[in-house]
Amino acid sequence: MCGIVGYTGPREAYPIIIKGLKRLEYRGYDSTGVALQNGQGVKVYKKKGRVAELEDAIVGKDLHAHVGIGHTRWATHGEPSDRNAHPHQSSSGKLAMIHNGIIENYSQLKNELISKGYVFHSDTDTEVLLNFIEEIKKNNNCSLEEAIRIALKRVVGAYVILLVDADDPNTIIAARKGSPLVIGVGKGEHFLGSDASPMLEYTKEVVYVNDYEMAIVKPDELILKNLGNEKITPYIQKLDLELAAIEKGGYDHFMLKEIFEQPQTVYDCLRGRLDPVAGTITMSGIQQYADQIVKASRIVMVACGTSWHAGLAAEYIFEELCRINVEVEYASEFRYRNPVINKGDIIIAISQSGETADTLVAIETAKAKGAIILGVVNVVGSSIARASHGGAYTHAGPEIGVASTKAFTGQLAVLTMIALKIAYIKGSISNDRYMHLLNELNEIPEKLAWVLNHADHIKKLAEKYKDARDFLYLGRGYNFPVALEGALKLKEISYIHAEGYPAAEMKHGPIALVDETLPVVFIATKDAYHEKLISNMQEIKARKGRVISVITEGDEMAKSLSEDVMIVPETDEIVAPMLSVVPLQLLAYYIGVAKGQDVDKPRNLAKSVTVE
């Protein structure tokens, strides 16, 4: 959470920073600020609200500078307000700092500083850390770099910090632990960002900074050090990302664009891996651990949010195809629970961003206990990808809408391929079934396009149901995680209360909610549980609930029991969630839009949850 941008070089810094912040707004959008260093001191402009609001508010101000830092905030310590917006300035006014993360021992540090006469102008942990750094610099009569190093050794928590100093007009000092930091290397200039999007049109050469590293960044010099003051050679990587991938491309919202990209993103995910003719699945990051996975007595899926739903779907798939015991864990619970982890256990960490703090810490905990960590991650080079022993990227491209859509179908595609590969090696699947499923998986992109061709129908349903107060989503088996995902999408985008439930479990409580006002969405595609689900539909209908169903094309029985249907093409039940989730993504999107919500940036949320 929180987006950070920095620039030092010959160009005007302000436009680069503002454009970069707009691209990082998915990380937080409570308040915005910039600090500009023009050789005559540091100027700070900041404001509650979105980047565009700051832009409007500072028209006409002196924004000329060749060095600057900028921040878009997701509030942790202190409400969203002008005073809590970053950058913060030190007591002397000479230093300005932005921060992404949480300083857990800030109150202890704050008390120490208060006893020394410091006065604070915000409620943030960031201002505390900044003044702590300034106090060390003053007391030890040392350089800013040295003061930061000393301060960070006392800090408990997570951070990326960027500082500018009025006495050092060309330099930005950055440090990282637990939150992402990318440095773009240009000709005589450097760019800094929470991800690479702010620097895309200027350079394709980037350095991913690691935990416990500091960067001293000048226009023509990048010095990387560890906290022990030893120099590290920056490892420059080439970005494989085009500008078009992070733009809306004619769609009203990123979320809609990303929903509509799914035929292509799933195709990209399968391409070069799945060969339905040869009957092969090529995944080198899995192949190297295949023996251990085959022999594993259990696999633990660790994730949060939508990625957790993908993990739950994978539990059904792995247990069915591979006959390996699978547990699905919320990363935030797993990491604090002192879980039983044995050497050789397989942990599959699922994450779109690859930066989710709880997932990252969970895998580090498991790794320390001897588990093998496989990452199913979307963002290339992200912290979870780098912390994993092996795994596979989802190749869905940048997902900018806060609600996860194409990442989910990508995760399902990757997890299904892994399960099929392991089942084949293990011999727990017949050859016929294996070949059949390869073909079914291969046809998913085309079938996704078919589903998306019916988006207008779902838009009409959204108009019809948008005023409902609550929604219930029900599914069984492979479609139970889809019910959870459909409910999550609706609540986060439209703010309508929605619950996902196993369809049969509904009788044990939620059925009490059913009346003639409650839309009940059944994920009712044809599978082994279909008849049971039809009975559940009857139960809802008998209580006058409004049944809306996602059904397989040609399923007249389910259609006759439903007030409205959303149709998907026939496919095997194992790969069905990749299709059945799409109408639910569209329904949530269109209801959110119909209610006038900001679907790409729903309130209180951030795309990448880098705090615990």
Q: Note the residues at the interface with ligand M6R (CB under 6 A).
A: 304-307, 351-353, 356, 359, 402-404, 488, 492, 605, 608-609
Residue with smaller CB distance to ligand M6R, 84 or 405: 405
Query: Which of the residues 46, 421, 526, 607 is marked catalytic?
Result: 607
- 568 vs 189: CA distance, rounded Å: 51
Chain centroid to CA 402: 8
- 129 vs 139: CA distance, rounded Å: 15
Residue with smaller CB distance to ligand M6R, 2 or 67: 2
**Closest distance of CB 349 from ligand M6R, Å:** 9
**Closest distance of CB 143 from ligand M6R, Å:** 37
**Closest distance of CB 485 from ligand M6R, Å:** 8
**Closest distance of CB 612 from ligand M6R, Å:** 12
Full 3-state SS string of 176-222: EEECCCEEEECCCCEEEECCCHHHCCCCCEEEECCCCEEEEEECCEE
**Closest distance of CB 351 from ligand M6R, Å:** 3
Side by side, the strands of the sheet bearing 168-177 are 88-89, 95-103, 157-165, 168-177, 213-218, 221-226, 231-232
Give the count of alpha carbons within 13 A of 8, CB side only: 24
Which residues does residue 303 pair with via DSSP β-bridges, in sequence order? 330
Would you state the structure tokens that stand for residue 216, as one six-digit string?
């001293």
C-alpha angle with apex 28: 22 to 29, nearest 5 degrees? 65
**Closest distance of CB 450 from ligand M6R, Å:** 24
**Closest distance of CB 237 from ligand M6R, Å:** 21
**Closest distance of CB 260 from ligand M6R, Å:** 17
Q: Is 607 a catalytic residue?
A: yes
DSSP-H helix ranges across 370-442: 383-387, 406-426, 431-442
Residue with smaller CB distance to ligand M6R, 171 or 352: 352
Residue with smaller CB distance to ligand M6R, 90 or 608: 608
Own/partner pairs, 453-457, CB within 8 angstroms, 24+ separation: 454/566, 454/567, 454/583, 455/260, 455/586, 457/566
- 563 vs 456: CA distance, rounded Å: 17
Are 482 and 408 contacting, i.e. CB atoms less than 8 angstroms apart?
Answer: no
Are 206 and 215 contacting, i.e. CB atoms less than 8 angstroms apart?
Answer: no
Q: Is 464 a catalytic residue?
A: no
Residue with smaller CB distance to ligand M6R, 346 or 349: 349
Residue with smallest beta-carbon separation from ligand M6R: 305
Would you state the structure tokens that stand for residue 418, as one six-digit string?
């892994």
Q: Which of 581, 599, 579, 598 is nearest to 589 (CA)?
A: 599
Would you state the structure tokens that stand for residue 524, as one six-digit string?
């009712």
Q: Which of 196, 218, 256 is nearest to 3 (CA)?
A: 196
Residue with smaller CB distance to ligand M6R, 26 or 45: 26
Residue with smaller CB distance to ligand M6R, 265 or 356: 356
**Closest distance of CB 471 from ligand M6R, Å:** 16
Query: Which of the residues 2, 269, 304, 322 is marked catalytic?
Result: 2
3-state helix, strand, coil in the chain (%, to 5): 40, 25, 35
Distances (CA, A) of 283 to 286, 323, 417, 426: 5, 20, 9, 16
Residue with smaller CB distance to ligand M6R, 366 or 403: 403
- 339 vs 558: CA distance, rounded Å: 43
Distances (CA, A) of 537 to 549, 552, 585: 9, 15, 22
Q: Which residues are catalytic?
A: 2, 607
